[in-house]
Every structure is written in structure tokens, then in C-alpha cells.
Amino acid sequence: MAGRMVVGSAALAGLVRPASAPDAIGGRRVLPVTPELTSLLPNRGLRRGSTISVAAGQPRHSGATSLVLALLAEASRAGSWCAVVGVPTLGAVAAAELGIALDRLALVPHPGPEWATVVATLIDGVDVVVAATPGAVSTSVASRLAARTRQRGSVLVSYGRWDGADLTLQVIRGVWQGVGVGRGRLRRREVTVAARGRGAATRPREVTIWLPGAGSTQVLPDSTHGARAASPTGRSGAGRLRAVPSVTDAPRPLTLAGSA
């Protein structure tokens, strides 16, 4: 990426305020999420100190990446710093499509062999840390990072399996729209997201929402009118769409070097 800023991951805490410090939204203990996702979360937002797992599924790009980014959007716009670790294919356009403020987004596309150290460093200085798991994560490492998340008051979002997570989200169904009779472009998809967890999240939940599709830079669910939310009767209604501003001249996300 032309003009990107590359620094060692250990320097991140010096670039942003500690996650436990008061932030631009009053130091609240629950960070906001887009209204379409509130019913999935027991606190109707991202509770500081919690660990959330987004099941990647097979293949890994089957809606889970868009869901991860959608979780970050409102907190980012409200002033919180976010970081994404280990997703080298993630680009600025995809992040901007889902409403993330690029000037408060840090990317570590290749964390290297010291993955756990990189994630722990980010937890110290960033409000929401998304970490793509490099295969199986040992119980001891998962427990250590979860404890650090609680201590620092950040939110850890695991992109992949995470035993002991407070909440697990998974895209269980998805339907693309935009292709006509043998022609057209994929514009968006309707996905159903299931949630299950511990404590207040024990009761399973499901919600159906629209997410931007591959190659789409023009549509996004209108956050003031839930796109399609599952109701007790199983019925849902189509939401309205709004235009997404061009990201040509938008701030670029901060790109960090690996742990080496």
C-alpha cells in the first residue's frame, strides 16, 4: 500500500491511548454496535473485558469477514481504536464499506510466529482487537489473553475457534443478490447470524441482516432502519439502503509490521 506507515507492533501502545483510559464516548463499559446486531449481544454492544469468537466457517470468507468488520463499525465511528491481526487480504475499501473509520484502524497482516505476543501488545493499547487464529490456540494461551483483555478493559474478537469465549457468533446462512439471469454483479448478501454463549448469552439468538457483497462499494444497511431482523414469528422486512462515500481520498489504516 503506497504511503503506508509501518512500525514495530511493540510501539503501538505509544501511538494510541491505553484501552483502559477514558475514551471519546465517555469511557463507557459497553462499546456501541450497529443496531442490526444489538439483539445478538447480551449487553446490546461490545462489553469491555469480554472475548467474542466469530466462527470462520469453511471457506473462511463465507460472510464471517464482513460480520467481523460490521462489529467494529459503530465503535470505530464513536472514537474507539480497532486493530485486525492476521488477515492479510483485508483492505481499506472493505473496511470503509462497513463504516469503519480508517484513521482509527490498525492492521497487522502478518504477525509472525509471536502471534500471541502481538495480540497481547495490541490488547494493551487498543479498544477492540480482532485476531485471526493461526490454527488451534492452546487453552493456556487463550486463558492468558482473555485475562489480559479483562484487566485492560479492551474487547478481543477471535476470528476462528476460541474455547471459553463469552460469546460465539456464526454465519449459518447466506444468499447473494445482484446477479440477474446469467449476468450482473454480486452486490450484497443476506446472512443469518446465530449467537450462543455463557451467562446472559446462554439463550441462543438469531438475526438476519444485509451485508455489502464482493465488488460493491455503493450499498450498506441503513443503521436507522434494521435491514432484516428476525422476529418471534419468523417474519422479517427489507430495510433501506444508503450510499457509502468514496474512499479514494479517505485516511489509510495504520499498517503495522509483524513481530519480527
For 108-156, write each residue's pLDDT tens digit: 999 999 999 999 999 999 999 999 998 888 999 999 999 999 999 999 9
Query: Of 106, 139, 169, which residue is a domain's last?
Result: 169
Place of cell 442490526: 36
How far apart are alpha carbons 56 and 161 in whole angstroms?
A: 8
Shared-domain flag, residues 237 and 210: yes
How many domains does the chain fold into? 2
Residue 134 grid cell: 493461526
Based on the domain organization, do 101 and 152 belong to the same domain?
Answer: yes
Query: What CA–CA distance (Å, rounded) separates 242 from 222?
Result: 6
pLDDT tens digits for 63-76? 888 889 899 999 99
Residue 157: strand pairing partners: 52, 130
Whether residues 125 and 226 fall in one domain: no
Percent of the chain, pLDDT > 70?
A: 62
57-61, 84-88, 159-163: range with lowest mean pLDDT:
57-61
User: Which is it for the CA torsion 83, 239, 178, 217, positive or negative?
Assistant: negative
Tell me which of 169, 191, 209 is where a domain ends: 169
Whole-angstrom distance, CA of residue 94 vs CA of residue 206: 24
Question: What is the spatial distance between Cα 136 and Cα 200, in angstroms, rounded to a whole number?
Answer: 27
Q: Return the CATH number at 57.
A: 3.40.50.300
Same domain (yes/no): 124, 42 = yes
98 with 30, same domain: the answer is yes
Task: Take residue 103 and report the three cell numbers written for it.
Answer: 484513521
- Under 8 Å CB-to-CB from 81, ≥6 apart: which residues? 16, 17, 19, 104, 105, 106, 125, 126, 127, 128
Q: Are 80 and 179 in the same domain?
A: no
**Nearest by Cα to 36 from 218, 222, 169, 205:** 222
Question: Per-residue pLDDT tens for 29-45?
Answer: 899 998 889 999 988 99
Which range, of 5-14, 69-78, 249-258, averages the lowest pLDDT?
5-14
Distance of CA 77 to the CA centre of its chain: 13
pLDDT of residue 250: 54
State the pLDDT confidence band at 28, using cuts at 50, 70 and 90.
Answer: confident
Domain-embedded: residue 115: yes
Statement to judge: residues 158 and 237 lie in one domain? no
Q: Which residue has the cell 493456556?
A: 140
Closest C-alpha to 89, from 12, 143, 136, 159: 159
The pLDDT value recorded for residue 82 is 96
Tell me: do 145 and 183 sit in the same domain.
Answer: no
Whether residue 226 is contained in a domain is answered as yes
Is there a domain that residue 39 lies in? yes
Q: Both 146 and 238 in a single domain? A: no
Q: Quick one: DSSP state of residue 173?
A: E
Let me know whether 159 and 222 are in one domain: no
Query: In terms of C-beta density within 10 A (0-12 exposed, 13-18 middle, 19 or more buried), how is residue 37 classed?
Result: buried
Residue 252 covered by a domain: no
User: If pLDDT is split at 50, 70 and 90, which confidence band does 218 have?
Assistant: very low
- pLDDT attached to residue 260: 45
The predicted pLDDT at position 90 comes to 86
pLDDT value of position 15: 55
Task: Give residue 207's domain range.
Answer: 170-242
Claim: this prediction has a pTM higher than 0.85: no
pLDDT category of residue 105 using cuts at 50, 70 and 90: very high
The 10s digit of each residue's pLDDT in 70-97 is 999 999 999 999 999 999 988 888 888 7
Boundary-marking domain end, from 132, 147, 169: 169
Residue 248 domain flag = no
Q: How does pLDDT run across 167-182, given as a tens digit for each residue?
A: 999 888 767 666 666 6
Choice between 35 and 246, residue whose per-residue pLDDT is larger: 35
pLDDT bracket for residue 191 (50, 70, 90): confident
Helix (H, G, I), strand (E, B) or coil at 52: strand
SS3 171: strand
Residue 21 in domain: yes
Does residue 187 lie in a domain region? yes
Tell me whether strands 254-255 and 155-159 are parallel, antiparallel or unpaired: unpaired
Asked if residue 45 is part of any domain, the answer here is: yes
**CA atoms within 13 Å, Cβ hemisphere of 46:** 32
pLDDT, greater one: 113 or 256: 113
In terms of domains, do 120 and 36 share one?
A: yes
Residues 222 and 137 in one domain: no
